[in-house]
């Protein structure tokens, strides 16, 4: 049963992270190449200090919508730092929390991911995609039973 599983059973453990002083160009490149929508931002000791999402990067696309081209957007991304657009108030959960609790938080807060921490350190990330994968897995198991 999914209600008895913990966040650690479903979360992604090998998380790609950014530094707050990385440029938006770096964030955009990594997110695009790895097909990632959310990336935790960590400081020098591994503590989570923020989260950047594709939505944060889309704010930079406003320049393009105002008539500036791709070159102008890339120049802007090269000048702006992750810390200037990241979400500072990161919603976190512990790895031993239940999946039901995680789903409830994500639904109530209308967010696409939870950063998983144990103590102050990053342990993983849990996304909507992880839940979709779980449902697909459960459905395929049910179809073969």
pLDDT tens for each residue of 70-104 = 677 677 778 888 998 899 999 999 999 999 999 99
Where does the pLDDT of residue 4 fall: very low under 50, low under 70, confident under 90, or very high at 90 and above?
Answer: confident
1-24: buried (b, 16+ CB within 10 Å) or exposed (e) per residue? eeeeeebbebbeeebebbebebbb
Exposed, middle or buried: residue 107 (CB in 10 Å: 0-12, 13-18, 19+)?
exposed
- Angle (CA) 52-106-100 rounded to 5° is 135
Q: Looking at domain 2-144, does it have CATH number 3.10.580.10? A: yes
- Residues 96-135 pLDDT 10s: 999 999 999 999 999 999 999 998 789 999 999 999 988 8
Exposed, middle or buried: residue 64 (CB in 10 Å: 0-12, 13-18, 19+)?
middle
């Amino acid at each position: 049963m999914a209600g008895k599983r913990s966040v650690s059973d479903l979360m992604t453990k090998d998380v790609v992270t950014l530094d707050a002083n990385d440029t938006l160009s770096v964030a955009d490149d990594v997110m695009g190449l790895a097909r990632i929508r959310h990336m935790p931002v960590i400081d020098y000791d591994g503590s989570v200090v923020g989260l950047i999402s594709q939505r944060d990067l889309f704010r930079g696309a406003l320049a393009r919508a105002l008539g500036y081209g791709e070159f102008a957007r890339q120049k802007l991304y090269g000048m702006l730092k992750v810390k200037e657009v990241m979400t500072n108030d990161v919603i976190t959960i512990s790895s031993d929390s239940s999946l039901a609790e995680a789903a409830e938080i994500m639904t109530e807060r209308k967010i696409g991911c939870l950063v998983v921490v144990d103590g102050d350190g990053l342990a993983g990330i849990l996304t909507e995609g992880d839940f979709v994968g779980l449902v697909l897995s459960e459905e395929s198991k049910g179809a073969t039973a």
